Chains A and B, each alone.
Chain A
Amino acid sequence: EAGVVQSPRYKIIEKKQPVAFWCNPISGHNTLYWYRQNLGQGPELLIRYENEEAVDDSQLPKDRFSAERLKGVDSTLKIQPAELGDSAVYLCASRPGGTGNTIYFGEGSWLTVV
């Protein structure tokens, strides 16, 4: 079974430029998450989708960040414009429906803003 796939794996951009990350969750997983992880810290939830609906986006900086999950499958996370402080790893994760199920993470997209 294929895991959570993310791209790009690494991205270096100049500040004020836009950037987008793509995530393909595990087939059949209804719940999709985007987390951000800064160096030396645990992942921080940005947004959670149940199918195509964003059910928890309270931590998403909405002035510059946006996300979508069309047709309840793939998802994209966009930052526009990027700031130096956005340098981090952006992790996508997915989970099947029901209770007590495991959340599976992708390898992450490493963003460096210079």
Chain B
Amino acid sequence: LAKTTQPISMDSYEGQEVNITCSHNNIATNDYITWYQQFPSQGPRFIIQGYKTKVTNEVASLFIPADRKSSTLSLPRVSLSDTAVYYCLVGDKFLFFGTGTRLTVIP
């Protein structure tokens, strides 16, 4: 079961790009990399998922190097409402949550 390592917390000013990197050295061939966002009092919300290279959607981009042992979630021009906990997960049918990265966006 591949576990992940990500920073416990990050601070950023509004309008800046935020990059959160996650390490997953034991990722398996069939594993996908998925990022979730969680606000207080809510369940985790899917942000983006990828298998390799780069994936972009309306919310974020996900960069995955060729060896897939890490990944970087990129949030462009963050706002105060992006303050949340961000989880990096590796797997397919089963997802193991770590403690996540608490992002605080400062005005």
Contacts and interface: CB of A to CB of B under 8 A. Distances in A.
Contacts of B96: 45
A102 B97 contact: no
B46 A104 contact: yes
Given A42-B87, A42-B98, A102-B34, A107 B43 contact: yes
Given A102-B46, A105-B43, A105-B44, A42 B97 contact: yes
B26 interface: no
Contacts of A31: 93
Contacts of A91: 43-44
Interface in B18-76: 30, 32, 34, 36, 41-46, 49, 51
Q: Is the interface of B mostly helix, strand, loop or mixed?
A: loop
Interface residues of A, number: 24
Given A43-B44, A91-B43, A100 B32 contact: yes
A42 B49 contact: no
A106 B49 contact: no
A48 to B, nearest CB: 7
A30 B77 CA distance: 37
B71 to A, nearest CB: 15
Interface of A: 4, 31, 35, 40-45, 48, 56, 91, 93, 95, 99-100, 102-108, 110
7 contacts: A31-B93, A44-B97, A56-B94, A91-B43, A95-B93, A105-B36, A107-B42
